[in-house]
Structure 1
Amino acid sequence: MRILVMASRRIASRQSGYDLRVAHLCAHLPAEAHLAVIPLEDETDGPVGITVDPLFASIEVLTAFPPGRERARRYLRTSNDHYMQLSRPGRFAAARDRLREIVTEKEITHVVVFGVALAELAVTLEGVTTVLDVCDSGVLTSERALSGSAHPSHGVQLWKDRLALRRKKATEGSLPDRFDVVVTISEPDTRAIERLHGSRGVVRTIPNGVDDAFLAPLPEPGTRHGVVFWGNLGFAPNRDALWFFLNEIWEPHLRDAGVELCVVGPNAPSWLAELAAHEPLIVLTGYVEDLRSAVAPYPVMINPMRTGSGLKNKVLEAFGMGVVVVSTRLGVEAIPEVRDGASLMTAEGPGAFADAIRTVLKDPELAAELRAGAHRLVEEHYRWDAVGRQWADLFAAESSGTERAGR
């Protein structure tokens, strides 16, 4: 067995959920592996914390797709199955031909694709077993964004969003027919694709794990009268979650009680930066090298997610670090082992969410129970070694012919 891994960006940043998932899952591939990077965005300088060179026998970066004007005929597509080919046929052909050469040169038997965006290139490779890691369902994310958001789209933008959703549905529904194995990061994402395909049992679920750096013995709990949120603030569901928390929970229910809010992460929107500039109870740190030190003073992590899909890495990290999580149910839907009142607090409406925060802040015994329960949960179920074994089992099952997920 020889494996070709296809990724849509250089794998380097610990701030990228995509990079972390690719790096950790590839560390558990059961055979010689080669990496082909097909950049779908212009590369920008950013924090580097992952080195994947030891994981691969070779690494090749193909020509990026972003430069140049896209062909207008891409607007005529009814799905995203051929978007790259329609928009930049020359670049698509060059990437396809080079990938075919790599398959021949390296005697590749299995191709692993991270992300739906590269699916149309992967299906052109013949004589190989194909594994697609969808990660999050784009359909599920888009459906939730359209059904309810702090900033819903209108007019022409709403029409564009609905058209984009229709294309995503057509593509995701066909994935189990086009790949030998299809994997997602959570059961809700798996069910979304199976619903679109019309069959059950054709998609596998393999969650993310948590880095060992977050699994040290529990530190002392934070003592500040406040809460913390972290993540990439350029991610739309994170921005929506913070907008909801600040405007509907913190301002009417917690501000007068002096509850602080610390927000950690890059790409803060302008409205948040302006608010933090004149509000002493709001601390905006930007990107930090040491997340543990930045969040340690705070006893509660908020996860007020209302949109998006997939598994929230920050929840697993908080569990490992002993920061009590107060979350919406959607924010932890991908972690079936969680129990309200045993490993975290869940709440839906603004008032209930604020009450849950106040309860944890004023009850150290409850907080201690939640910290211990959450830490046990992540230790038992979400270490990368345990997740990696599930990933390796995909290839063992496929090779032995005892199990096939998909076609």
Structure 2
Amino acid sequence: MSERPRVLFLTSELPYPPHQGMAIRAYNLLAGLRERFRVHLYSLSSSPEATQHAAALREICERVEVMPAPVRTRARRALSLLTTRLPDMALRAYSPAFGQAVLRALAESEYAILHVESIEMAPYALAALGAGLPQRPRIVFDDLNAEYLLQKRAFETDLRRPRRWVGAAYSLVQWRRLARYERRICRLADCVVAVSEWDRDALARLAPSANIAVVPNGIDAAHYVNYSLTDAAPIADVPGPKLVFTGKMDFRPNVDAMCWFADDILPQIQAQIPDAHLYIVGQRPSPAVQALGSRPGVTVTGFVPDVRPYIAAADVYIVPMRMGGGTRLKVLEAMT
């Protein structure tokens, strides 16, 4: 029997625990790939628990390599507006040391596929294409959103409010840059993976020659169905209707959703139902989201080890998204 081919799988953060968007998708792709491939995972991480998480991933990956995630300050992001034509997402996860490790792995071992999970990891695919490797792997680019449209929607949303015009200007620049960059990687990849037919069509409009396949998002339904309301501490016994939103709270579409909902919608609800309470559940809340926690009837939890207690205890699960793309894994979680 011939040896199973190798896949080098790149992620911008360790896909463990599989509790949020990218991690859920990447973890399940890895679990599926191992049936036919020898999977090597190279990942960036800033988590203090990276060693433990990498050990858990070795149960489904033959090899796991983790390197520190780069840190980009606001000042560096602002400077890049003037010093490069690349979009911010092309710089967000770029680490020269990580890039060297990827090229070294590709030179030392034969890989059938280089899989890049998200546009943040596209620079490493482009570097591999230009490295003159004796045996170039096929490039698979998993585009988690039609990113250029996400920025277009952010621009259109911010443009409606004069106090957000600086953000609108930033989104306009990023939209134009992302359209060029996303078109380039879609054209060069051997296969582009979209999460929905809508995203496939959006990417096809951007890069008509791209080879695009759809691999829909999904969740482990049993993980949610088997969760009992009796386990739904710490908010199950809190009086009053509970509104719950979950997600990474430094992700701009989530930040916009909560700020807009808290400003424009929640006061109308509380005028009719004074004890209605909003729970914003998710790691790394931005300063704007943290500030919402000082308002009456709003709790910002920050990181929680398990979102299921909050979903199970919710009277209403809300998804007031005004920008973004892809598919909403949070909706699948709440519906299960």
| TM, length-normalised to structure 1 | 0.65
Q: Secondary structure at the match of 1:55?
A: coil
Query: Which position in structure 1 is the counterpart of 2:283?
Result: 266
Query: Which position in structure 1 is the counterpart of 2:181?
Result: 171
Q: Closer, same or farther in 2 for the Cα pair 1:43/1:252, shift >3 Å?
A: same
- CA distance in structure 1 between the aligned counterparts of 2:192 and 2:70, rounded to whole angstroms: 25
Taking the TM superposition and a 5 Å limit, the aligned residue runs for 1:341-356 are none
Per-residue deviation at 1:260?
Answer: 2.8
State which of 51, 56, 63 in structure 2 corresponds to 1:58.
63
Q: Report if aligned partners of 2:89, 2:120 keep a CA contact under 8 Å in 1.
A: no
State which of 108, 111, 114 in structure 1 corresponds to 2:117.
114
Larger radius of gyration: 1
Tell me whether 308-317 or 119-128 shows the greater mean CA deviation. 119-128
Q: Closer, same or farther in 2 for the Cα pair 1:166/1:290, shift >3 Å?
A: closer
Letter in 2 for 1:138: E
Q: Report if aligned partners of 1:82, 1:120 keep a CA contact under 8 Å in 2.
A: no
Q: Report if aligned partners of 2:149, 2:325 keep a CA contact under 8 Å in 1.
A: yes
Per-residue deviation at 1:111?
Answer: 1.1
Q: Report if aligned partners of 2:191, 2:212 keep a CA contact under 8 Å in 1.
A: yes
- CA distance in structure 1 between the aligned counterparts of 2:151 and 2:80, rounded to whole angstroms: 24
Per-residue deviation at 1:63?
Answer: 6.5
- CA distance in structure 2 between the aligned counterparts of 1:262 and 1:250, rounded to whole angstroms: 12
Q: Secondary structure at the match of 1:248?
A: helix
Q: Report if aligned partners of 2:229, 2:313 keep a CA contact under 8 Å in 1.
A: no
Letter in 1 for 2:111: I
- CA distance in structure 2 between the aligned counterparts of 1:104 and 1:23, rounded to whole angstroms: 26
Letter in 2 for 1:179: A
Query: Which position in structure 2 is the counterpart of 1:229?
Result: 245
Q: Secondary structure at the match of 1:198?
A: coil
Q: Report if aligned partners of 2:227, 2:308 keep a CA contact under 8 Å in 1.
A: no
Q: Deviations over 1:167-215 (max 9, x none)?
A: 110111123321111012223322222111135x732222221133113
RMSD value over aligned CA atoms? Answer: 3.6
- CA distance in structure 1 between the aligned counterparts of 2:301 and 2:114, rounded to whole angstroms: 40
Query: Which position in structure 2 is the counterpart of 1:103?
Result: 106
Q: Report if aligned partners of 1:81, 1:171 keep a CA contact under 8 Å in 2.
A: no
Q: Deviations over 1:72-100 (max 9, x none)?
A: 8984544459966xx98xx64x6555433
Query: Which position in structure 2 is the counterpart of 1:334?
Result: none
Letter in 2 for 1:110: I
Q: Secondary structure at the match of 1:111?
A: strand
| TM, length-normalised to structure 2 | 0.77
Q: Closer, same or farther in 2 for the Cα pair 1:44/1:62, shift >3 Å?
A: closer
Q: Deviations over 1:295-316 (max 9, x none)?
A: 3332210111111112222111
Q: Closer, same or farther in 2 for the Cα pair 1:49/1:17, shift >3 Å?
A: farther
Q: Closer, same or farther in 2 for the Cα pair 1:119/1:286, shift >3 Å?
A: closer
Tell me whether 136-145 or 3-12 shows the greater mean CA deviation. 3-12
Letter in 2 for 1:61: V
- CA distance in structure 2 between the aligned counterparts of 1:160 and 1:278, rounded to whole angstroms: 29
Query: Which position in structure 2 is the counterpart of 1:5?
Result: 9
Q: Deviations over 1:268-320 (max 9, x none)?
A: 455555554451x3343333223222333322101111111122221111111
Q: Flag structure 1 segments of 5+ consecutive residues without an equivalent.
A: 321-407
Asked if residue 34 in structure 1 is aligned to residue 40 in structure 2, the reply is yes
Number of aligned pairs? 309
State which of 126, 134, 139 in structure 2 corresponds to 1:130.
139
Q: Deviations over 1:131-158 (max 9, x none)?
A: 1111112211100000114766425x54
Q: Closer, same or farther in 2 for the Cα pair 1:178/1:147, shift >3 Å?
A: same
Q: Secondary structure at the match of 1:214?
A: helix
Query: Which position in structure 2 is the counterpart of 1:202?
Result: 211
Q: Flag structure 2 segments of 5+ consecutive residues without an equivalent.
A: none
- CA distance in structure 1 between the aligned counterparts of 2:289 and 2:115, rounded to whole angstroms: 39
Per-residue deviation at 1:162?
Answer: 2.1
Per-residue deviation at 1:225?
Answer: 2.7
